[in-house]
Structure 1
Amino acid sequence: MAGVQLEEVRKVYRNGQVAVHGASFEVAEGELMVLVGPSGCGKSTLLRMIAGLEEISAGTLRIGGRVVNDVAPKDRDIAMVFQSYALYPHMTVAENLAFGLKLRGMPRADVERRVAEAAAMLGLEGMLGKRPREMSGGQRQRVALGRALVREPAVFLLDEPLSNLDAKLRHSTRTEIARLHQRLGATMVYVTHDQVEAMTLGQRIVVLDAGRIQQIDTPMALYERPANLFVAGFLGSPAMNVLEGELQAADGLRLVLDGQGDVPLPGADVPDAWLGRRVALGVRPEHLLPAGEGLQARVDVVEPVGSEAFLHLDFGGRPLVSRLPPQKLPEPGAQLRLRADPAHLHFFDPSDGVRLAA
């Protein structure tokens, strides 16, 4: 088990494209750190640089305190799980698990012990004689995890390991990875574009966009205090509602929108310096709820999903979403009054998207 430190790590391709702009963060020993962001944000490139599969253009990478910029992948003491299972189709599960250990010349007794331990941990004991084609996608992904596990590396690297699975298998395998991490106390760096995976798995999350780190924090800190509009919109499903306008205090605090309409903000407390300035107001769907007074919107679509329901609303041509508990729901076309919870409002500078601090 070892920590990973990145100091101003950059990746620039020969055509001049910058894939990663000066990434700096530290993964503590035993921590599960998630790199998350949309396609093309640089998260997999970062992981491949940690693995040694991608050359580092600038900056310093340390694993266990040792600078590894020029160290070959096989000498970094890492194990990687890829998006594709990458199993040998002609080998049994046991042979797939043991293959890397045999290449390293490990004694047969040690190989058998490690394979048996990994199989027991991942529930593969009854499948050791099977070949990959005889297994489901979830079982094959467990074999890929086991192949990394038997290595007993200093750091596990996982590159979107669940993206090929269906929703039910993603959930169960995600739970297995969380349990595995708790049991092993291993250092893991996990890449995903799925914000639900990031929020449920990560002890901390690195949010990336266009090769730049936007924010690093615990899942709930990111959700409750996003540093900018990108993080606010990326984390959370449905995404945060955002309305842009000018804060005014006439007849009570309100956000006066461009064109027409305003959003009353009774009970909200903002610094006097913010009055008269343009802001982007963010409200999570669960904090925009029906009330006797407030903004008036038309219900466009109602999505009941059992434990909750989503109301997709039209507010003067602006889309909004409200998340409600199970209850009697309005019909599409109905007019609804909604109030933003004053204790859960987010204010951002619309010019650069950065969160405004009181």
Structure 2
Amino acid sequence: MAKVSFEGVRKVYDNGQVAVHGASFEIADGELMVLVGPSGCGKSTLLRMVAGLEDISAGTLRIGDRVVNDVAPKDRDIAMVFQNYALYPHMTVAENLAFGLKLRGHDKAEVQRRVQGAADALGLTTMLDKLPRAMSGGQRQRVALGRALVREPEVFLLDEPLSNLDAKLRHTVRTEIAQLHRKLGSTMIYVTHDQVEAMTLGQRIVVLNEGVIQQIDTPMALYDRPANLFVAGFLGSPAMNVLRGVLHQDAQGAAWLRLGDGTEVPLGAAMVAPEWVGRDLAVGVRPEHLQPATGEGAFAARIEGIEPVGNEMFVNLRLGAQALVIRVAPQALPQVGQELQVAVRPSALHFFDAASGNRIEAHGAG
């Protein structure tokens, strides 16, 4: 296996469109790194540059210690799994798994060893004689994974491999990919637009938007300390509530935010810097950190919808012009159209500069 290093890697198309703006980061040997972001953010372009399917406009790309900018795809020792499986329909599972190995001139015994090893690892041993059309989507995706696995490459590249599967199959195959990575200890780069996949699979995550890296960190570090409003809003379901207004604080240290329509939201004893007072801020609060409450610090918001989803409920609220979502355990609540008293957890607030969208920290916070 090998590490993968991006050093100022940039991709500009002939029409002048910049797909990737100077990406610099390293994927460790044996790490499962997820590239995540909305459509058109540059994540698949980065993956295709590692695969050699896209030219690099500037910068240096290394696999291990070797610069691969001008190395042909077949000589990079990588294996790629695509979202559409790309299986040969007239070949059995065994033949699909073996095809690439035979092209590379491996002897019969080595082909058999690798095919059997991949089949064992992915639960395909009883399906080796089946054609792809006789298999479910999840089974076909496992064959696609197996075809990459038999290569025994330095780096696995996975380009939205679950996007064609239904929700149940996505969960199953996602679990299988995580187990496979733990078993192999392989370097894997996984591209997805699905933040749930990113959070559950990635040891670290690269968050991209419009070709620019927004933040790189572990899943929970991204969730707990997003670097900017884009990351804050992209990771988490339901998304983080963002309140925009002017910050105020009384002599006793209690803070509140006055929204644009004059509505005031108590922030309690949130840790704020003195220089923030009187300044336009964006204050983020996760749905689980805005809860039904009474007494000091609570404020009334109108219930616009209640979504029970089994072990929890999402409650959609309206506070003046501001929409809010809270996540609560199943419980009795006022009816839609009535008011609910809620309060924020002051220690769990996120503060961002309103103009730049970047995270700001009070001295001594976190």
Q: TM-score, normalised by structure 1?
A: 0.99
The answer for the alignment partner of 1:106 in structure 2 is: 106
The answer for the alignment partner of 2:137 in structure 1 is: 137
SS at match of 1:265: strand
SS at match of 1:106: coil
Bigger mean CA offset, 330-339 vs 78-87: 330-339
The answer for the alignment partner of 1:278 in structure 2 is: 280
Residues 148-193 of structure 1, C-alpha deviation per residue, up to 9 Å, x if partnerless?
A: 0000000000000000000000000000000000000000000000
The answer for the alignment partner of 1:227 in structure 2 is: 227
The 8 Å contact of residues 92 and 131 in structure 2, kept in 1 or not, is answered as yes
The 8 Å contact of residues 132 and 140 in structure 2, kept in 1 or not, is answered as yes
Within a 5 Å distance, the mapping from 1:1-358 to structure 2 comes to 1-250=1-250, 252-293=254-295, 294-358=298-362
The 8 Å contact of residues 261 and 321 in structure 2, kept in 1 or not, is answered as no
Superposed CA RMSD in Å reads 0.8
Bigger mean CA offset, 327-336 vs 191-200: 327-336
Instruction: Output the amino acid matched with 1:357.
Output: E
Bigger mean CA offset, 329-338 vs 63-72: 329-338
SS at match of 1:85: coil
Runs of 5+ unmatched residues, structure 2:
none
SS at match of 1:91: coil
Instruction: Output the amino acid matched with 1:307.
Output: N
How far, CA to CA, are the matches of 1:311 and 1:55 in structure 2?
48
How far, CA to CA, are the matches of 2:7 and 2:348 in structure 1?
35
Q: May I ask how many residue pairs the two structures share in their alignment?
A: 358
How far, CA to CA, are the matches of 2:335 and 2:31 in structure 1?
47
How far, CA to CA, are the matches of 1:138 and 1:334 in structure 2?
45
Query: 1:253 Cα deviation (Å)?
Result: 1.3
Query: 1:296 Cα deviation (Å)?
Result: 1.4
Query: 1:276 Cα deviation (Å)?
Result: 1.1
Query: 1:331 Cα deviation (Å)?
Result: 1.7
How far, CA to CA, are the matches of 1:51 and 1:127 in structure 2?
29
Query: 1:258 Cα deviation (Å)?
Result: 1.1
Instruction: Output the amino acid matched with 1:97.
Output: L
How far, CA to CA, are the matches of 1:311 and 1:237 in structure 2?
13
Instruction: Output the amino acid matched with 1:315.
Output: L
Query: 1:219 Cα deviation (Å)?
Result: 0.1
How far, CA to CA, are the matches of 1:118 and 1:152 in structure 2?
10
Query: 1:65 Cα deviation (Å)?
Result: 1.0
SS at match of 1:23: strand
How far, CA to CA, are the matches of 2:333 and 2:20 in structure 1?
46
Query: 1:343 Cα deviation (Å)?
Result: 1.0
Instruction: Output the amino acid matched with 1:15.
Output: N
SS at match of 1:292: coil
How far, CA to CA, are the matches of 1:355 and 1:257 in structure 2?
19
Q: Percent identity?
A: 72
Query: 1:250 Cα deviation (Å)?
Result: 3.4
Instruction: Output the amino acid matched with 1:191.
Output: V
Bigger mean CA offset, 257-266 vs 31-40: 257-266
How far, CA to CA, are the matches of 1:87 and 1:329 in structure 2?
52
Query: 1:135 Cα deviation (Å)?
Result: 0.4
